[in-house]
Amino acid sequence: MADGLNGHTALVTGGSRGIGAAICKALAEAGAAVAINCRERIDQANKLADELRKGGGHAMAIAADVSQRDAVSGMVERIGAELGPIDILVNNAGIAIVRGVDDLSEDDFDRTITVNLKSAFLCTQAVLPMMRARKWGRIVNISSGAARGAGSIGPHYNASKAGMEGLTRGYAARLVKDGITVNAVAPSLIETDMMSGQTQLVSRIPLGRFGTADEVAKAVMLLVDNPYMTGQTIAMSGGMAFN
């Protein structure tokens, strides 16, 4: 997809590291102008933006809490002014608070749903007018194998990711006539900071290794490139589960 996204502007939430950073790099390599969102790691996001610009791309870093409506509105307005109207959105921001059934609190549940699910709703609503104006848009939500399996983080996390896949299908059905596709990627056991020290989990994976952030980014790019796929979830589990 070299230079295939020239003239397009992408927003990647939680884009400063891990899977988000890999997606930012892939989008920039394909020619898109990329807005790298973070909540707190602005130095890391700025470093990535500098790297993308040095490689010939257009990029900016922007700090905003995407679980807050006003912060999202201000972020989208600033990106539009600096990079152009957003027509690619990757909802990647999320948290993983590990809790068991007996120590899961109401605050843990509410915070997880707000950051993981409500943020995707707020960002999607904010960019839809720009996508509709262009009659073209790509929304990719980063889900998890926990949306359909037991997972190791907790039922609050399962609920947030299952909700994200429901959100994906609901928007896909209603936006297809506007030229906007909405899909999800559901990775399991990807080699990121979150998996640090969890090497024992490799034994669960038939492929025999963790997935990589770059492999997740390739799945995202497949969905961005394909106008005929909408309402779908691509599962990436190294053979642990099949859709």
Extended beta strands in the chain, E state = 9-12, 33-38, 59-63, 88-91, 137-142, 180-187, 233-236
Q: What sections of 5-143 are H helices per DSSP?
A: 18-29, 42-54, 69-82, 106-113, 119-134
Q: Read off the pTM.
A: 0.94
Residue 48 lies in a domain: yes
Q: Which residues are catalytic?
A: 157
- The total domain count for the chain is 1
Q: What CATH number does residue 53 fall under?
A: 3.40.50.720
φ/ψ of 54, rounded to 5, equals -65, -25
Q: What's the burial of 75, exposed, middle or buried (CB within 10 Å: 0-12/13-18/19+)?
A: buried
Residue 4 lies in a domain: no
Tokens found for residue 234? 């691509």
3-state SS assignment for residue 63: strand
Tokens found for residue 199? 């090497």
R_g over Cα of the chain: 17
The CA distance from 57 to 1, in Å, is 14
Task: State residue 25's pLDDT score.
Answer: 98
Residue 157 lies in a domain: yes
How long, in residues, is the chain?
243
Task: State residue 211's pLDDT score.
Answer: 84
Lookup result for tokens 């040095």: 54
Residue 240 lies in a domain: no
Contact 72, 122 (CB under 8 A): yes
Residue 243 lies in a domain: no
Residue pLDDT tens, the chain, 243 long: 555 999 999 999 999 999 999 999 999 999 999 999 999 999 999 999 999 999 999 999 999 999 999 999 999 999 999 999 999 999 999 999 999 999 999 999 999 999 999 999 999 999 999 999 999 999 999 999 989 988 889 999 999 999 999 999 999 999 999 999 999 999 988 887 665 656 767 878 877 888 899 999 999 999 999 999 999 999 998 888 876
Task: State residue 243's pLDDT score.
Answer: 67
3-state SS assignment for residue 192: coil
Task: State residue 191's pLDDT score.
Answer: 84
Among 194, 190, 170, smallest CA distance to 182 is for 170
Task: State residue 205's pLDDT score.
Answer: 81
Residues contacting residue 157 through CB under 8 Å, at least 6 positions apart: 96, 97, 112, 116, 144, 146, 151
Residue 3 lies in a domain: no
Residue 216 lies in a domain: yes
State the distance between the two ends of the chain, measured CA to CA, in whole angstroms: 27
Residue 241 lies in a domain: no
Range of the domain at 177: 9-235
